[in-house]
A and B are shown apart, each in its own frame.
Chain A
Amino acid sequence: MYTDVVMEHITNPQNVGELADADGVGEVGSPACGDIMRISIKVEGDRITDARFRTFGCAAAIASSSMATGMVRGKSLIEAWAISNADVVDALGGLPPAKVHCSVLARDAIRAAINDYRTRQGLDAWEMGSCGCCGGSGCGSRPENG
């Protein structure tokens, strides 16, 4: 069901944690949906120098946040903002269709962190676009089927 890259990220997630002196923090999802992602970033000049995550959610959610935090490191804010959920999916070698919303969640958490940084700097938040989270369907092994 999951690619080797996803499995590697779930068994060995990268960038787990929180930055004590974060410049921006973004949190998306809700426990009721079964997904919460919190991403903190450190910004120097115009660049993200560090990014960490904490995620409550399925394997795809953990792998997406692990991957996305790695992808934004070293990028300018504009470059990081431009990372799409499809970029995250590609980097993971694909996600099952029902799990694509997890990559959207990761993109949105990054963007929420960038906007938090911008707001703290007294800048206008960028337009987030519609939240794509909570749009997937179905999942693996469920007792209700057996």
Chain B
Amino acid sequence: MNDKDQRPVYMDHAATTFMKPEVLAAMAPYFSRYFGNPSSLYRFARESRKGVEEARSQVATALGAEPEEISFCAGGSEADNWAIKGVASALRKKGDHIITTAIEHHAVLHTCEALEKQGYRVTYLPVDEFGRVDPGDVEDAITDRTILVSVMTANNEIGTVQPITEIGRVAHAHGVLFHTDAVQAVGAVPIDVDALGIDLLSLSGHKFYGPKGTGALYIRRGTRIESLIHGGGQERGRRAGTENVPGIVGLGRAIELATADIEGHNRRIAAMRDRLIRGVLGSIPDTRLNGHPKQRLPNNANFSFRYVEGESILLLLDAHGIAASTGSACSSASLEPSHVLLAIGLPHEEAHGSLRLTLGDANTEDDVDYILEVLPEVIGRLRQISPLTPACARVPEAD
């Protein structure tokens, strides 16, 4: 195959999604036409305020929550910081212990590490080989000083979906609040905060075809939490700052679209993803699928290819127009590849050889065919170059 024969295939939807035209259309009037500050009293501001409140209802409906339980913020990272730091400081007198997992996004992990520096204690629970947390481990870790359990709904790297109903139940049985980072789950995992026993939930607009830099934190009524951003009285005094009105409107429309038919959407995406996984495992030897075989996001495929390194895979795929990502450290400052792949027990070299492909709404069966055509060739070429490849796994050399 010639490197010039390329077609653009974007398969990195866990990193971010394109914004849907319907979302853009919903946002458009709120830049110039309805530019009023939602906090202002005059009629001029009424449309902006209505836009924000409609979006709040849209988010609440998507989560089975009440509108006043939704607070907008600037994205998934802020929502995670807010949930964890906000509960930690509000409940400081009650306790100082937080339970989370080894495979959380850095927005959670680094927040917990920052709290450890302030004297909080954090338990980072291990996961099994598929990336699942054992609710029994959560229970065992709870002490009378525990104030928060934070476990992500679904993992961004390997796609593993956690048993959050059980984890929420365990937390509540001990009177402990339960936060979940649902940034990757919205639109893929049906969410009902009451049925799932969730007290706080983080979400991010740009992961479900909404705008970047928009997010929300669901806060169950009555939950004690401090503000993260202090200032004006926006968001019922919980989150200061003049609202990102177009962004909020876009987030609302996006979540409405993303949760309208989760099952149908998942069926279509998972069918392509399953063909991709079968094709890759069937055509490339010494390959493993990372994550859970069944309990995984419908759009996620994560592989480790032995003997090769992820960044070079990405670069060669990019030369063919394919966008994907890797858990390789590929440079050796920390010497550490993805903490998630290490937590599921992969040896370093297999973590370095990982490739994540995440499908989205614009992908087609042709995209899958194209990747199944290009990827074996790319891996074959790199294995040809690698000193780790056993001679029997090498294609005979041309030179």
Contacts and interface: CB of A to CB of B under 8 A. Distances in A.
A binds B: yes
Interface of A: 2, 7, 10-11, 13, 16-17, 27, 31-38, 53-59, 61-62, 98-99, 101-102, 133-146
A2 B337 contact: no
B386 A134 contact: no
Contacts of B20: none
A54 B349 contact: no
B227 interface: no
A30 B328 CA distance: 14
B328 A34 contact: yes
Contact of B330 (A36, A37, A38, A57): A57
Interface stretch (B55-63, B231-239, B279-287, B309-317): B309-317
A36 B387 contact: yes
A11 B321 CA distance: 13
Contacts of B325: 141-143, 146
B384 interface: yes
B332 A33 contact: yes
Contacts of B271: none
Most buried by A among B12, B312, B348: B312
B335 to A, nearest CB: 6
Most buried by A among B314, B335, B340, B386: B386
Contacts of A55: 385-387
Given A31-B348, A34-B328, A58-B312, A143 B14 contact: yes
B334 A137 contact: yes
Nearest to A37: B387
Nearest to A105: B332
Given A138-B333, A141-B12, A146-B14, 12 more contacts: A27-B387, A34-B328, A53-B385, A58-B331, A62-B312, A137-B334, A139-B328, A142-B327, A143-B327, A143-B338, A144-B339, A145-B106
B259 interface: no
Most buried by B among A31, A59, A142: A142
A34 B372 CA distance: 25
A90 B327 CA distance: 29
Shortest Cβ-Cβ A-B pairs, 3 listed = A137-B333, A146-B15, A134-B332
B243 interface: no
Contact of A56 (B106, B339, B386): B386
15 contacts: A10-B315, A10-B316, A10-B319, A34-B335, A37-B387, A53-B385, A56-B385, A58-B331, A101-B331, A139-B331, A141-B326, A144-B156, A144-B157, A145-B106, A146-B16
